[in-house]
Structure 1
């Protein structure tokens, strides 16, 4: 594959990266006078003190706030409706997404729907969405990430699930780039090992997919390759010792770079396949789903001649310095999965049945069919089912 030299680059977010950066938020010119702080329904933001830190920073800036704390681990339409209603009710003029990708993605969607009429799903451009234009500029967003996974702090998209139609799809809008992103590794030390691994692989696959996409170009290659190396060589240490700030820092930077890769590059059908799985099984963490299908998915493209050198380079980035064949990437990936304690993951543990694979394949093609166009060779529905079958345990 020859990487093209023509591309658009737009990542207008002010990124505050590094240890202790969250406590410098009050030094920034914030984009409003009253914030809706969006967190998930879990306990981590409160119990770990992160919500209190953000509240204190807002008080130091003389900025008012209210909290919306109902977001699901896979955000659903209902969360966005409730959050937007609360933002309007309290006359909030900007949104803070505090947490992982779920909170930040929900914050972006709430920022859009707080000022636009109608139903959220009507604005979605794929699946059963109607692709309606977003007429009003979304409220400004500040993204404060407490995980290293989605990279949502550095891109202009959100992903939402529609429980009524079993669709999990994204919307890209340039106006949804966060005004400010805070990436503070000290806020990530409390993430449990398993979820550190899930989130790290999510970030890793954002860049490996971009690197083998037919839309790859010189700039996306630079960002993706660096992210693959940062995550691939440090994730194991972060999983095994959550207090290892050096490892956390490098994985966090890799995650943010992977978010940039999403903004300037592309994803492939791997994300379409996983979204189909977790659209029907909300208890399946996104990163876990990607890990489950990863070996079979990447093996499917391993013999594409144009991808040969890219697979070898990805293997070396993961630490396999002597890599000489495309399959060395698969081996390096499987080794990383094992080192991170995820080699025993099973679809069946999440209630997934073999009988669902055809349904997943059709859903992936219908809901996120555009990602299949980024593959170097087009996957058929039969190919998708085969990947699911090979991944099943």
Structure 2
């Protein structure tokens, strides 16, 4: 595994390789952090895995505090509580340790550490980010324990506004973590279901950024290769959870996905965001269920990129159809079945009662602006209803 021990500086400093969490104290030293706040989720906080973080820190004289009072979809109250503890303990940096929720929460806490405005003043609307007092932001080290969201290389924190029942994107260019540690050993204990849902989340990022009409050839190239990596390594990581090479490659693919979606996302995320806010479901699972229904809706605009993707993934000629779009769709449907992903939203407890509200929220979601086709609430309602009924054939 020595070939996986490298350091990258795109889009930020990334320390890659199994076992590299042992260098956490070194990362803190590089950033001048002596008293970090470790932000994680309540389950991780109780697992032996957390010792992989605590031991190297304590061995090197770091005074580390732990904050784990966050929900699966972190809300503004969680962030306020974290900031309160950070200020009380006079922490000088944040270690965001866990899945996307913990990393989003950690980044938001580091942002809000020295702000006087409420968090919603920094929502990704217009130039709200200019309101941030950058002198009040603290350095962040991100250590993902799942391979999906890619939040460790993102400039956004997704925070739920529970009063408005909506997920809001908190943005600032300097919200990007200063150092990322991609250590596959931390993901070996992930159960198959979480491996599947988070891996499909990474795929959705690549797929939507690849289909985006926005001009960003670098992101498009990353997305294309990222999908090849998911195709090759996600089934391996799911089937044999101890496959360290597959786990490491999926961690990298997840970070690549969040780097690629600088090109934009689309209707998958536009629908997943309100569904997550209203039903508190796992974001990656929602994306996994929605992918084929959105692909079919976008088909008139994505035939050409799908043909190119089918050739790159060597799908054409290996399925029942030589059509690029149908080959990609067949592959995704087969992958979902292999990973045990439910075929429709009804299978995960989502009904059609709020169809109109969800459609309106999806049409207004920032992700909708870079979808290959311009959908209004009516089109989003139809996609949602099809996803509930499971109208795409297996």
Please confirm whether the aligned pair reaches a TM-score higher than 0.5, indicating the same fold: yes
Structure 1 range deviating more: 29-38 or 72-81: 29-38
Structure 1 range deviating more: 197-206 or 265-274: 265-274
Structure 2 distance, partners of 1:216, 1:21, is 35
Is the Cα contact below 8 Å between 2:36 and 2:94 reproduced in 1?
Answer: yes
Structure 2 distance, partners of 1:301, 1:85, is 45
Structure 2 distance, partners of 1:331, 1:383, is 23
Q: For residues 54-85 of structure 1, what are the alpha-carbon distances to aligned partners after superposition, in whole Å with 9 as ceiling and x for unaligned?
A: 11222233221100011111111111000011
Let me know the Cα RMSD of the aligned residues. 2.0
Is the Cα contact below 8 Å between 1:318 and 1:332 reproduced in 2?
Answer: no
1:117 Cα offset (Å): 1.3
Structure 1 distance, partners of 2:336, 2:187, is 20
Is the Cα contact below 8 Å between 1:272 and 1:371 reproduced in 2?
Answer: yes
Unpaired runs of 5+ residues, structure 2, are 1-8, 390-394
Report the 3-state secondary structure (helix = DSSP H, G, I; strand = E; otherwise coil) of the residue aligned with 1:392. helix
Q: 1:160 maps to which residue?
A: 159
Provide TM-score, normalisation by structure 1.
Answer: 0.90
Is the Cα contact below 8 Å between 1:302 and 1:327 reproduced in 2?
Answer: no
Provide TM-score, normalisation by structure 2.
Answer: 0.90
Q: 1:245 maps to which residue?
A: 244
CA separation of 1:326 and 1:288: change in aligned 2, threshold 3 A: same
Is the Cα contact below 8 Å between 2:267 and 2:294 reproduced in 1?
Answer: no
CA separation of 1:247 and 1:109: change in aligned 2, threshold 3 A: same
Q: 1:354 maps to which residue?
A: 352
Structure 2 distance, partners of 1:61, 1:14, is 22
Q: 1:301 maps to which residue?
A: 298
1:371 Cα offset (Å): 2.2
Structure 1 distance, partners of 2:190, 2:221, is 29
Structure 2 distance, partners of 1:308, 1:61, is 55
Q: 1:313 maps to which residue?
A: 308
1:385 is matched with which residue: 365, 374, 381?
A: 381
Q: 1:327 maps to which residue?
A: 326
Q: 1:177 maps to which residue?
A: 176
Q: For residues 269-320 of structure 1, what are the alpha-carbon distances to aligned partners after superposition, in whole Å with 9 as ceiling and x for unaligned?
A: 32111101111011x100111122111101111122xx32311233345552
Structure 1 distance, partners of 2:168, 2:231, is 27
Report the 3-state secondary structure (helix = DSSP H, G, I; strand = E; otherwise coil) of the residue aligned with 1:64. coil
1:341 Cα offset (Å): 1.3
- Which structure has more relative contact order (CA 8 Å, sep 6+)? It is 1
1:38 correspondence with 2:35? no
Q: For residues 170-206 of structure 1, what are the alpha-carbon distances to aligned partners after superposition, in whole Å with 9 as ceiling and x for unaligned?
A: 1221111111101111110111101100000111111
1:51 Cα offset (Å): 1.7
The structure with more helix, counted as a fraction of residues: 2
CA separation of 1:332 and 1:176: change in aligned 2, threshold 3 A: same
Q: What is the correspondence of 1:359-374 to structure 2 with a 5 Å cutoff?
A: 359-366=357-364, 368=365, 370-374=366-370
Q: 1:197 maps to which residue?
A: 196
